[in-house]
Chain A
Amino acid sequence: MHVHAPLDHIAFSNAWRTRSPIDKMIFGGGLLLLASVLPALPWSAAIFAAAATAALAGARIPVRAWGWFLAPQIGFLSAAVLPLILGAGWERAAAVWMRGAAAAACMTLLAMTTPAPDLLLAARRARVPAVLVELAFLVYRLIASIWVLFERLRLGLDLRLRGGKPSLRAATLSASNLLTRSIQTARRVERGASLRGLDGFPMLTPRAETSRMFLVSAVALQGSLLAAAILFRSRFPW
């Protein structure tokens, strides 16, 4: 049984887990920026390949999990560009689709290699108001607790149905049970917070330092893509 969200689990266990979030943001964010400014063909494909290679070979995210997270985004994107084919022609629709897919790959890379708490700590360092970051931390913790609860209830329902499909009534009862138990969980966490004297949420600064080597490599890759796009501008116009 999964007792945690798969995305969260991968974000905490991938090979880039200990890398500084700033490194990952510069790498993913730079590629995302290029995806939005460079001509879709062929550069979006190159950016998609770079993000995919970084995720699968660099961060060693399992191919199946990566595909599982990317597929709904691509599906949503595909459905969204269908009207564009009729309105603006297939070339324009293909360009939007390629840009969107490259951007999705960049965001997936960031989401699957950086746990939410690391992103929140980076937000705190970027001077996002402390009260927002602290609230986000508690919400994250609460969501994690409720996810564990959800998995337990799902298992319980599965065992009672002996593998059969739940009826609408059973699903509704489970959902209402989850809601009730979630409220109870929130109250118990509130009591725990009070017991520990919650009054602000000071946190340790992340240990991970930015890596000069990594940053140089990231900027070199992005620079090469940009240089190539400029060099072949006559063949692939902007």
Chain B
Amino acid sequence: MVNRFPLEARGVSYAYAPGHWAVRNVDLVAPAGARIALLGANGAGKSTLLLLLSGAEHACHGEIFLHGSQAERSRAGLRRWRREVGLLLQDPEDQLLAPTVEQDVAFGPLQDGVEEAQARKLVEQALSDMAIPHLATRPVHELSLGEKKRVALAGLLVQAPAVLLLDEPTAGLDPGGVRALRETLDILAQAGTAVILATHDVDFAYEWASEVCVLFQGGILARGGPADVLADREMLTHASLEPPLLLEAAMAIGGPPPLPRSRAEFREWVRPATRIFP
């Protein structure tokens, strides 16, 4: 059976030790083109949930489905799982295996048996898409954190996964790096890739996501549209988070809906009311 959800989790739970649940009974549906932000404080279970969704960890309870079929943990099943679902770890250093950039990006296609000439074309395209063709022959250990993240992302995108999972993708990036990442994620989502990211950067989640899930002690505390969920200060405080600055400012000013989601929207939204931005 083929449905429209590249990835679906039903009642997924995971414990690192008996009785210590890192993830509790989580349901999650990622349709094609989804932009889902998992928000939560440190230890809320975001990273563990991503590991479960990627197949790196085995859920104690619950099921995960890929395009409507239950994901299998056989050798072939895991191989398919990893082709369909790519996970960018918080520290890209952990998943860069080859000594040079082009060799690392080529790793996935060559592993899948793609011919070398075709693999080279895919690598060139992936590096070009990530705006890093100039890094092709550089050793990965000489790159900056932002460059490493881009290389690791290129290594995932070269295999065109249906679902992309990102663990704290904005951590350690400068504003330019965050902007470039957001543009890349926008392009991917528009092309139909379901993107799920774990973060405690509420400002980024508010601006980028179409759905946010707030995790607390392994369970989902709240979910829905970013403007609705992230306006609930009491709930966010309970989850050790803060409302996005932009949303809080817009609510304090009290202008007409829809509330602005980006700085540019905020400037347009606030201008007629206050005239504070000439």
Asked if A196 is an interface residue, CB under 8 A from chain B, the answer is yes
A-B pair count, CB < 8 Å, reads 99
Asked if B94 is an interface residue, CB under 8 A from chain A, the answer is yes
With contacts A117-B103, A197-B79 known, is A192 near B139, CB below 8 A?
no
**A197 contacts B78, C-beta separation under 8 Å:** yes
- Residue from the set A145, A188, A191, A203 with the largest chain B CB neighbour count within 10 Å: A203
**B97 contacts A204, C-beta separation under 8 Å:** no
Rounded to whole angstroms, the CA-CA distance of A189 and B89 in the bound complex is 11
Asked if B96 is an interface residue, CB under 8 A from chain A, the answer is yes
**A9 contacts B99, C-beta separation under 8 Å:** no
Q: What is the distance, in angstroms, from B133's C-beta to the closest C-beta of chain A?
A: 14
What are the residues of chain A within 8 A of B123 when measuring CB–CB? 204
Rounded to whole angstroms, the CA-CA distance of A200 and B112 in the bound complex is 11
Asked if B110 is an interface residue, CB under 8 A from chain A, the answer is yes
Rounded to whole angstroms, the CA-CA distance of A117 and B142 in the bound complex is 14
**A192 contacts B78, C-beta separation under 8 Å:** no
Rounded to whole angstroms, the CA-CA distance of A3 and B147 in the bound complex is 14
Rounded to whole angstroms, the CA-CA distance of A189 and B94 in the bound complex is 5
**A12 contacts B138, C-beta separation under 8 Å:** yes
**B142 contacts A196, C-beta separation under 8 Å:** no
Rounded to whole angstroms, the CA-CA distance of A18 and B100 in the bound complex is 13
Asked if B111 is an interface residue, CB under 8 A from chain A, the answer is yes
- The stretch among A48-56, A134-142, A163-171 that forms the contact with chain B is A134-142
**A202 contacts B111, C-beta separation under 8 Å:** yes
What are the residues of chain A within 8 A of B54 when measuring CB–CB? 195
Question: Looking at the complex, which one of B100, B108, B137, B139 makes contact with A196 (CB distance below 8 Å)?
Answer: B108
**B103 contacts A205, C-beta separation under 8 Å:** no
Interface of A, helix, strand, loop or mixed by DSSP:
helix
Asked if A69 is an interface residue, CB under 8 A from chain B, the answer is no
Asked if A144 is an interface residue, CB under 8 A from chain B, the answer is yes
Asked if A115 is an interface residue, CB under 8 A from chain B, the answer is yes
Asked if A194 is an interface residue, CB under 8 A from chain B, the answer is yes
**A192 contacts B110, C-beta separation under 8 Å:** no
**A144 contacts B155, C-beta separation under 8 Å:** no
With contacts A197-B79, A204-B102 known, is A4 near B142, CB below 8 A?
yes
Interface residues of A in 1-49 (CB under 8 A from B): 3-4, 8-9, 12, 17-18
Beta-carbon nearest neighbor of A12 in chain B: B139
**B142 contacts A204, C-beta separation under 8 Å:** no
Rounded to whole angstroms, the CA-CA distance of A172 and B94 in the bound complex is 26
Asked if A199 is an interface residue, CB under 8 A from chain B, the answer is yes
**B94 contacts A4, C-beta separation under 8 Å:** no
Q: What is the distance, in angstroms, from B219's C-beta to the closest C-beta of chain A?
A: 25
What are the residues of chain A within 8 A of B91 when measuring CB–CB? 188
With contacts A9-B142, A144-B141, A204-B116 known, is A198 near B97, CB below 8 A?
yes
With contacts A117-B100, A117-B103, A141-B98 known, is A195 near B87, CB below 8 A?
yes
Q: Give 4 closest A-B pairs by Cβ, nearest first.
A: A192-B95, A202-B110, A144-B141, A117-B99
12 extra interface residue pairs, beta carbon distance < 8 Å, beyond A117-B98, A195-B89: A4-B139, A8-B141, A18-B137, A117-B103, A141-B96, A147-B141, A191-B56, A193-B95, A196-B111, A196-B155, A197-B108, A201-B98
Identify 26 residue pairs between A and B in the complex whose beta-carbon atoms are under 8 Å apart, listed by A's number: A4-B139, A4-B141, A17-B137, A117-B98, A137-B97, A137-B98, A137-B99, A140-B99, A141-B97, A188-B93, A191-B56, A195-B54, A195-B95, A196-B82, A196-B97, A196-B107, A197-B78, A197-B108, A197-B111, A201-B98, A202-B110, A203-B110, A204-B102, A204-B110, A204-B116, A204-B123
